[in-house]
Structure 1
Amino acid sequence: MTVIDIPGSKSVTARALFLAAAADGTTTLVRPLASDDTEGFAEGLTALGYEVERTPHTWRVQGRPAGPAAATADVHCRDGATTARFLPTLAAAGHGDFRFDASAQMRRRPLGPLTGALRALGVDLRHEEAEGHHPLRIAAAGIKGGDLTLDAGQSSQYLTALLMLGPLTAEGLRITVTDLVSEPYVEITLAMMRAFGAGPTRDGRVFTVPPTGYRATTYAVEPDASTSSYFFAAAALTGREVTVPGLGTGALQGDLAFADVLRRMGADVDIAADRTTVRGTGRLRGLTVNMRDISDTMPTLAAIAPFADGPVRIEDVANTRVKECDRLDACAENLRRLGITVHTGPDWIEIHPGTPRPAEIATHGDHRIVMSFAVTGLRTPGAPGITFDDPGCVRKTFPAFHEVFAAFRDDAR
């Protein structure tokens, strides 16, 4: 059995940084993820005037319930979608003039449903170039609150940002959601808000958030379930056994459900209270699966699909087209480079069995494309069978991925 220590969750770390900055008192985050995305978030907080002290295993954040200490700030959000969507929302609840920009990749990603909602709440917000995209300016003067209607069909992060904003408003928020993708991520948000002293409630697609503010706390960040998917998939593909400690039945992250997809394909899966273990059985069955709620793991499944004994069809993943890249097309393009037969539609991909041939993977600067196709490389002939045009983009969420994965691969030899 191989035990893999997975870095902290990106999603949980980003939410914890927002909540800690908004809380009354000093919050200690235990084992947060240290990566380009989360470090960019922490640096954004610093630019806004929050005090953030980082050590290798804990980050301490001095909260400011009244909002940013800086009267003006120019914040660069790098490639981070959570940074680019959460920080402007946090700043809008304070007072001052703030500008936000991001990388070319992040500038292409949509922001409009969130900024439209902020404008509906009375926020003075202006997109400097393309409407609904970074860069943007906010003249913040606090937020009264009220009723909102939101389309979160492209990204659940729009809803998460507004939910976390609710306790900082004068009167609270009542949000009616017309469409919602990646719903388990919203449950992460609600659970974490409660851990920081807020009291959000949910009735179907209506979310009510009273103006309670937040309390500082000590918060342990669980391992990243999306990152774990690459090692679980590797176990299922190679017949090995992999255990990830700290990620079990009480985990917040919905992406742990990827282990159940592997179970349906024939792997042995054991999810205990404090760990998850996946063991390959020497067989992967084809299947049809709806991955709307766990779409970040769609590339992981696509990458091992050629080794199944029948077609693998992944459905309801239209939102993967507006991630770091169009992940649905990127997976199809790279599988075809490997000589695999692939069919796609607006929100689905179907992958047929085949033996991959050596090829260079076009990463499109997307960390998940690299980490997923690294798993394909475990059973691709040649030395090396799989190469990448930008292997370093894994720094976004897992800077040490290649070293950790190489140790896993070499341990099997």
Structure 2
Amino acid sequence: MPVVDIPGSKSITARALFLAAAADGVTTLRRPLRSDDTEGFAEGLTRLGYRVGRSPDAWQIDGRPEGPAVAEADVYCRDGATTARFLPTLAAAGHGSFRFDASPQMRRRPLLPLTQALRDLGVDLRHEEAEGHHPLRIEASGVEGGEVVLDAGQSSQYLTALLLLGPLTRKGLRIRVTDLVSAPYVEITIAMMREFGVEVLREGDGRVYVVPPGGYRATTYGIEPDASTASYFFAAAAVTGGEVTVPGLGTGALQGDLGFVDVLRRMGAEVETDAHGTRVRGTGELRGLTVNMRDISDTMPTLAAIAPFASGPVRIEDVGNTRVKECDRLEACAEGLRRLGVEVATGDDWIEIRPSDVPGATPVTGTEIKSYGDHRIVMSFAVTGLRVPGISFDDPGCVRKTFPGFHEAFAALRAQLPE
């Protein structure tokens, strides 16, 4: 029975780096993800004057509740959305002149709901080129706090950034959210803030978040495996009739993307989750289904990649936010499947994939998949490649964003799965 060691969660590592930098004291992060995104975040902290010490299995960060240690910095956020959204928010709580820029891919991704909220809180923030996009400059003088309204319908990271900022403000924050996507990621943030000594309250219909001032306390924090990355290995078991166990992602896991295994269960796979981890076993059956993936949209490409092997159509709904990720993931999935010969239909926020293992369906044949530089497109279609020989990628190396060793780990798993 293959046991797969999944690297640490990107989402949790990024939040932990912010919290550690903001905390009073030295924080140790155990088993953080080491990838292009998280290294970029750590490098950004260093540019802002924070000390980040690295060993193979742990990082140590000297927290600075008062903000960056430098009065001026130019920070390059690479491709990382968490870096590009969280670090300017962290810098706003300090004092100085800070400029942030990012890769062409990240420059295209929207920031305006977050940066407008920061402006509403009195932050002197200017977009240097396209409004609502990087590059941007902040003339920071701390944040007073108070009440702000936020639309997080494009990305839950906007809300997370403000929640993380709250304890660093002088009065705390009261955030009224008009729309929210990927809500489980916000629950990750709230749970982690609690571990660093801050309790977030919710009022009314749950759309008002109240964050007290007072700062964070340093701690030692363990990073659980990345549930989004685990989805490719769980899907591999389901699509081949094999079995995969991922330790460290069990009943106490923070990440909502572990809910992907419930989708696999509905399709016919056997799933067992206990305190120690999760096991998925393929049964030789994959049923079609209609599923709302608004809260676990990072795993939408994983499901799209195995959908051609279901016995009926697979329709994935309420995933419009995937159009503003590293690429337009909904269209990238549709294009890749069509290149393989799969029948696909799309709408503004949905995709429907017709089965290919049924009489009359067009045979699926291997081809080169256009990745658009998106790690999730490559890792998802690698799962398709377990059933379709001849799949290749124009940019296989883009997986370094979250899992530099993905291809080696997936090849090792493939050797243990049924043909």
Identity of aligned residues (%): 79
Aligned partner of 1:139 in structure 2 is 139
Aligned partner of 1:156 in structure 2 is 156
With 403-412 and 216-225 compared, the bigger mean Cα shift is at 403-412
Report SS of the residue matched to 1:129.
coil
Q: How does 1:59-138 map to 2 (within 5 A)?
A: 59-138=59-138
Report SS of the residue matched to 1:39.
helix
CA drift at 1:212: 2.1
Aligned partner of 2:191 in structure 1 is 191
Cα distance in 1 for residues equivalent to 2:364 and 2:24: 54
Report SS of the residue matched to 1:49.
coil
Post-superposition Cα deviations, 1:367-412, rounded to whole Å, max 9, x if no partner, equal 000000000000003xxx1100000000000000000001111223
Cα distance in 2 for residues equivalent to 1:20 and 1:154: 27
Report SS of the residue matched to 1:219.
strand
**Which one-letter code corresponds to 2:317 in the other structure?**
E
Figure out how many residues of one structure are paired with residues of the other and give that number: 410
Aligned partner of 1:284 in structure 2 is 286
Cα distance in 1 for residues equivalent to 2:241 and 2:222: 32
CA drift at 1:192: 0.3
2:372 equivalent to 1:364: yes
Post-superposition Cα deviations, 1:353-379, rounded to whole Å, max 9, x if no partner, equal 114211100000000000000000000
Q: How does 1:229-248 map to 2 (within 5 A)?
A: 229-248=231-250
Cα distance in 2 for residues equivalent to 1:260 and 1:201: 29
Cα distance in 2 for residues equivalent to 1:374 and 1:257: 21
Cα distance in 1 for residues equivalent to 2:416 and 2:302: 21
Post-superposition Cα deviations, 1:314-370, rounded to whole Å, max 9, x if no partner, equal 000000000000000000000000000000000000000114211100000000000
CA drift at 1:276: 0.3
Aligned partner of 1:403 in structure 2 is 408
**Which one-letter code corresponds to 2:406 in the other structure?**
F
Aligned partner of 1:219 in structure 2 is 221
Cα distance in 2 for residues equivalent to 1:199 and 1:241: 39
CA drift at 1:140: 0.2
**Which one-letter code corresponds to 1:290 in the other structure?**
N
Cα distance in 2 for residues equivalent to 1:345 and 1:159: 27
Report SS of the residue matched to 2:70.
coil
Asked if 2 retains the 8 angstrom alpha-carbon contact of 1:317 and 1:348, the reply is yes
TM-score if structure 2 supplies the norm length? Answer: 0.97
> Which runs of 5 or more structure 1 residues have no equivalent in the other structure?
none
Post-superposition Cα deviations, 1:189-212, rounded to whole Å, max 9, x if no partner, equal 000001000121113100000002
Aligned partner of 2:296 in structure 1 is 294
**Which one-letter code corresponds to 1:241 in the other structure?**
E
With 319-328 and 196-205 compared, the bigger mean Cα shift is at 196-205
Asked if 2 retains the 8 angstrom alpha-carbon contact of 1:199 and 1:212, the reply is no
> Which runs of 5 or more structure 2 residues have no equivalent in the other structure?
357-362
Cα distance in 2 for residues equivalent to 1:235 and 1:247: 16
**Which one-letter code corresponds to 1:331 in the other structure?**
C
Cα distance in 1 for residues equivalent to 2:266 and 2:186: 25
Cα distance in 1 for residues equivalent to 2:338 and 2:351: 12
Asked if 2 retains the 8 angstrom alpha-carbon contact of 1:248 and 1:276, the reply is yes
4+ runs of 1 displaced by more than 3 Å?
A: none
Asked if 2 retains the 8 angstrom alpha-carbon contact of 1:182 and 1:292, the reply is yes
Cα distance in 2 for residues equivalent to 1:397 and 1:212: 33
Cα distance in 1 for residues equivalent to 2:252 and 2:214: 26
TM-score if structure 1 supplies the norm length? Answer: 0.99
Give the root-mean-square deviation of aligned CA atoms. Answer: 0.6
Aligned partner of 2:10 in structure 1 is 10
Report SS of the residue matched to 2:188.
helix
